[in-house]
Amino acid sequence: MFISWATRPTTVQSTTYYYYDGKYYTPAVQEGETVYVIVSAPEGMEVDTLPPDAEEQEVQGQSYWYAENTFYQQIQRDGKAVYVVVDAPAGAVIPGLPEDAMEVEDEGAPVYQYDDTYYAAATSEESPTGGYVVQPPPPEETIEAIPADAVYFEVDDVFYYYVDYGLYVLLEGGGYGASEPPLGGVATQLPDGATVITEGDESYFQFDTVFFEMTSRDGSTVYVVIPAPDGSEIVE
């Protein structure tokens, strides 16, 4: 959405945003003219009080407040509790899509994008009352470098690096390309952060969208990449 003007400038981390009618905008040039593009509330902005309709929810052990398409966390500033705008946490559930959310292409169920945040319809397990759940952003096709603290693991002598919710492998020409370990691939160790899940009498290990089954080969314990326990293949 574009408008030709906006009011109430706010500067956050050297970037100026404008607030009008409950929404934030940032300047952009379109056909040689400056217009204002609707965006999420600027990450890092602090407020003393939350909007009156803010609702608290816990995501992966952290407390967040959601209101007006924005997520907040509470921090202490000079001995006083304030609320800072943060990125939408993956797994959080919102009651309805933002007004300007757009459906984007996806091979599975519809996914919706609002600014840099992605949503999908919540399952009954994620939210008995419905709504939309925040999705991790789709991984970039290639990245130039791997952060020093990135989680990595080895499957069939190939190293997979986990960066911004995506798995990457080293490319022959340099850089790193998005990739997933193959079904049936073998790892001698699980990646840091893998969790145990149980389906019936069977236990598996999950790391993001990759599932492993523990087995023994040649007297050693190894972990084999398998389809999701419900039978739907989510890795290729």
State pLDDT tens for residues 181-192: 999 999 999 999
DSSP string computed for 170-228: E-TTSSEEE--PPTT-EESSPPTT-EEEEETTEEEEEETTEEEEEEEETTEEEEEEE--
Q: Which of 154, 170, 142, 168 is nearest to 222 (CA)?
A: 154
For 17-64, what is each residue's pLDDT tens digit? Answer: 777 766 677 777 777 788 877 777 778 888 888 888 889 999 988 999
Write down the residue that tokens 């996914």 correspond to. Answer: 111
- More confidently predicted of 142 and 233: 142
Total Cβ atoms within 10 A of residue 207 = 21
d(CA 20, CA 163): 35
Q: State residue 109's pLDDT score.
A: 77
For 60-104, what is each residue's pLDDT tens digit? Answer: 889 999 988 889 999 998 888 899 989 899 899 999 998 888 888
Q: State residue 233's pLDDT score.
A: 40
Query: Are residues 76 and 102 in contact, defined by beta-carbon separation less than 8 angstroms?
Result: no
What's the full length of the chain, in residues? 236
The ranges assigned to domains in the chain are 2-39, 46-135, 142-226
Total Cβ atoms within 10 A of residue 124 = 8
Q: State residue 14's pLDDT score.
A: 61
